[in-house]
Amino acid sequence: MFVLGIDPGLSRCGYGAVRQTRSETEVVSAGLITTSRDLPVAERLSILLRDIREILAELRPDVVAIERILFRSNAKTAMSVGQASGVILLAAFESGCEIVEYSASEVKLAVAGYGSADKLQVQRMIQILANLDQIPKPPDVADALGLAFCHLANHSYTSVVRAAQGSELR
């Protein structure tokens, strides 16, 4: 399975692609898309859409895992993250990828074993899971990789449960 995790943001949008085979899990690509706060919002969204489409076309993931926006204390931040998330969902849908959404707590629980883990704990666990020499930076990239690893863990668990249910039905 090949998963592209995306941590949506208008100023900083992290992405991380992870491929899992029977024998290994490998980080294929990770990075950050940035847009200038000096540009109009519509232009920034257009840049984000273009860059996400390019990443999707280049990587061709099976699944896009995106952070589900639940609540932000800053309304302006919530609005821009929501706009970025909408653009990313559109691009993923247009590319034909399966789309899944996870909350930040679900990702933290899956990768760090604790739903309230801090950024550094998540970064360190991603470093271990991805067998990286250094902690992934900035945190947006670690969060995107966390989304991909969360989906792989969730998918593996769901597959085991379905297999067990299937064997009970026989």
Annotation says 43 is catalytic: no
pLDDT of 70 reads 75
Annotated catalytic residue, options 51, 67, 106, 143: 67
What CA–CA distance (Å, rounded) separates 162 from 159?
A: 5
Annotated catalytic residue, options 51, 106, 140, 143: 140
- Residue 33: which CATH number? 3.30.420.10
Annotated catalytic residue, options 7, 51, 106, 143: 7
pLDDT of 162 reads 52
pLDDT band at 155 (very low <50, low <70, confident <90, very high): confident
68-94 pLDDT per residue, tens = 987 656 777 888 999 999 999 999 999
What is the pTM for the complete model shown? 0.89
Amino acid 9 reads: G
pLDDT of 161 reads 42
Domain total in the chain: 1
pLDDT of 168 reads 53
Provide the domain limits for residue 124: 2-169
Annotation says 118 is catalytic: no
Mean pLDDT, rounded, for 95-118? 94
Q: Which long-range contacts (CB under 8 A, 24 or more apart) does 73-82 make?
A: 80/9, 80/10, 80/11, 80/41, 81/8, 81/9, 81/10
Contacts of 91 (CB under 8 A, 6+ apart): 49, 52, 53, 56
Mean pLDDT, rounded, for 28-36? 97
Annotation says 24 is catalytic: no
What CA–CA distance (Å, rounded) separates 146 from 15?
A: 10
Residue with tokens 């920034």: 44
Q: In the predicted model, what is the mean pLDDT of the chain?
A: 90
Tell me how crowded residue 166 is: count the other CB atoms within 10 A of its CB: 9
